[in-house]
Structure 1
Amino acid sequence: MARSGRSRIAALSVAGVLAGTVVVGCGGDGDTAGPADESRATKGADDARNQATEAVRSAYDRTADQETARVTLRTRTSAEGKSATVRGKGAVDLDDGDSVLTLTADGGRIEQRVVDQLLYQKPPAGQAPDGKPWIRIDLRKVAAQQRSGDQSMNDPARSASLAKAIDDKDVVKSGTATVGGVTTTRYRVRVDVAELPDGAALSKRLGPTLPMDLWLDDQGRIRRQQVDMALKATPRPEAGSSQRSSSAPQGVTVRTVLEFSDFGTEVEADAPPASQVTDLTDEAVKQDGAAR
């Protein structure tokens, strides 16, 4: 297969795993207290915000305590006037991050497994390189290239560390909704990106805050999470000023919606035989580096 084919596979692989991560997503502003008894109303509002913040901060631990769950995801990526949607369903081990998913994109079907921080994907027949059905990407090496340094971006069990970047003023309780037949409470959040691991580098691409919506059940577990990321483009050097306007890089927006159900379900994530796998980690790392 040509090198361009390898690059497309690598891009799809990285997109698939990013689509399946549990991070944080879409937000709103806090409400002010009513006018009656100002001090009492202010205290009541503060108490409500404190309770909302605690609910959000503890949600990741409460969800991870369930050990496993079924998961569905939908990721829509938009750039330069075009968009693409990846849908997936499967099961995830909330303790170690292993997962088994089936992804669909552009009419194609992809089998995906994450085993010990190694991403395996089986694209449609004939699309994997070297005549082998599976490709592999080492997520740890990709994370190192991204300089995020935080495996919690790919591990729901460690995502609670991200919640520490949430302040009381950044959490708003926003009504109720039914998710998968379960009554949930919705919380709108803004996360201080600077407080995340390697926050200075992340802020350059994400801006100062990362918005999030969480829908929690009556046990405080995450049933749905929506993430809206607006990734800033990295300027590219141009040969002449006449080319700058036509080839100037544009930002990318990514909306990811995750839903969890059937906590405690069985997860069987096994690595494919080595003889059936082509490693594309270097391709993924090079591509990510070129995009910066």
Structure 2
Amino acid sequence: MAHLASGIRAGAIGAVGLLVCGVLTSCGGNGDGESEAGKSSSSASGGAGGTTAVRTAYAKTAEEETARMTLRTETSAAGKSAVAEGKGVIDLEDGDSAMAIKAGGQKVEQRVVDQVVYQKLPAKQRAQVPGDKPWIKIDLKKAAAEQNSGSSNQINDPAQSASFGKGITDRNTEKVGTAKVDGVKTTRYRVTVDIDKLSDSAALKRQVGPTVPMDVWLDDQGRIRRQQVTMNIKPTDRADKSAVPEKMTVRTLIEFSDFGTEVDADAPPAGQTTDVTGKLPGQRS
């Protein structure tokens, strides 16, 4: 589970945060690509069996080593919303990835190598970065240390939803039904995540409350094909630059397909990159 979470973190954080006002969250419309069976709820409880299936799914997915990944993010606040979508390949173990991301009418090429994000920005945004180089660089480990596990750090990170598996209990685990995800038959489970069971849970709990609902679609081999989390975020201390300034809804959708696909992600030449770690909106300097 930890390996999958760190892989998603490295593979997905970065460009979406730049293009969506520093708030990296995701969604997928309810029912997108689902069969009618997936849209209708079943009253049958998943119980301990369902809980075990969802918990073990993280390890089973990571064992596949690589996959194609799609990421859709949506943030809604004050009557406005921002959407970003990413598509590419990811190493589920170490997070090396290559993705194309679209948001706000802009396109960004992104690579992640050894926990460092590289983004090739559009010309308009490139002019706003000192050095006038085609790529920017964000060191995720350094950024995490500088932000001291701030509350927005957890919300802005799609890997946080991957680690939610640690908070699943037998209570409120429900088998919803079946659905097709990218042509693959899956079983959909709805679970309640206990925030107190997560690491660094205090800040997240202040903003989302004691529990968060999560839906997971598993294939017949017990692997994750889709995961969706919806969080209603409450604002915290406005004096904290990394805090969420107002109430917002965050929806997260991550999908995996083509397990075992080749992942070819190389860092761009150092002379073509500008290190912006800690210098972006929402980051501490």
Cα distance in structure 1, aligned partners of 2:219 and 2:22: 27
**Change in 2 beyond 3 A, CA 1:162/1:77:** closer
Whether 1:77 aligns to 2:62 is no
Cα distance in structure 2, aligned partners of 1:32 and 1:83: 33
1:19 offset after TM fit, Å? 4.9
1:251 offset after TM fit, Å? 1.6
Q: For the Cα contact (< 8 Å) 1:177–1:185, is it kept in 2?
A: yes
Q: Residue type matched to 1:100 in 2?
A: A
Q: For the Cα contact (< 8 Å) 1:10–1:283, is it kept in 2?
A: no
Higher helix share: 1
Whether 1:287 aligns to 2:282 is yes
Whether 1:265 aligns to 2:266 is no
Residue deviations 1:95-127, cap 9 Å, x none? 111111100112211011111111111111242
Residue deviations 1:208-252, cap 9 Å, x none? 112211100000001111121222212436xxxxxxxxxx94222
1:81 offset after TM fit, Å? 1.5
Unaligned runs of 5+ in 2: 1-14, 28-40
**Change in 2 beyond 3 A, CA 1:14/1:279:** farther
1:60-75 aligned within 5 A? 60-75=58-73
**Change in 2 beyond 3 A, CA 1:141/1:100:** same
Cα distance in structure 2, aligned partners of 1:113 and 1:233: 32
Q: Residue type matched to 1:221 in 2?
A: R
**Change in 2 beyond 3 A, CA 1:249/1:64:** closer
**Change in 2 beyond 3 A, CA 1:219/1:11:** closer
Residue deviations 1:41-69, cap 9 Å, x none? xxxx6xx4111000000010010000000
SS of corresponding position for 1:220: coil
SS of corresponding position for 1:169: coil
2:232 is aligned to 230
1:203-222 aligned within 5 A? 203-222=205-224
Unaligned runs of 5+ in 1: 1-8, 22-29, 34-44, 238-247
1:136-147 aligned within 5 A? 136-144=137-145, 145-147=147-149
Q: Residue type matched to 1:12 in 2?
A: L
Q: Residue type matched to 1:142 in 2?
A: A
Cα distance in structure 1, aligned partners of 2:248 and 2:94: 30
1:177-256 aligned within 5 A? 177-236=179-238, 249-256=245-252
Q: For the Cα contact (< 8 Å) 1:118–1:138, is it kept in 2?
A: yes
SS of corresponding position for 2:144: helix
Q: For the Cα contact (< 8 Å) 1:230–1:252, is it kept in 2?
A: yes
Residue deviations 1:241-279, cap 9 Å, x none? xxxxxxx94222221211111000000111111111111
2:171 is aligned to 169
Q: Residue type matched to 1:184 in 2?
A: T
- Percent of pairs identical after alignment? 55
For structure 1, which segment, 138-147 or 98-107, has the greater mean C-alpha deviation from structure 2 after superposition? Answer: 138-147
User: Normalised by the size of structure 2, how large is the TM-score?
Assistant: 0.77
Q: Residue type matched to 1:229 in 2?
A: M
Cα distance in structure 1, aligned partners of 2:16 and 2:133: 15
* Equivalent residue pairs, number: 246
Between structure 1 and structure 2, the one with the greater Rg is 1
Whether 1:12 aligns to 2:18 is yes
User: Normalised by the size of structure 1, how large is the TM-score?
Assistant: 0.75
Q: Residue type matched to 1:140 in 2?
A: K
**Change in 2 beyond 3 A, CA 1:205/1:141:** farther
SS of corresponding position for 1:283: coil
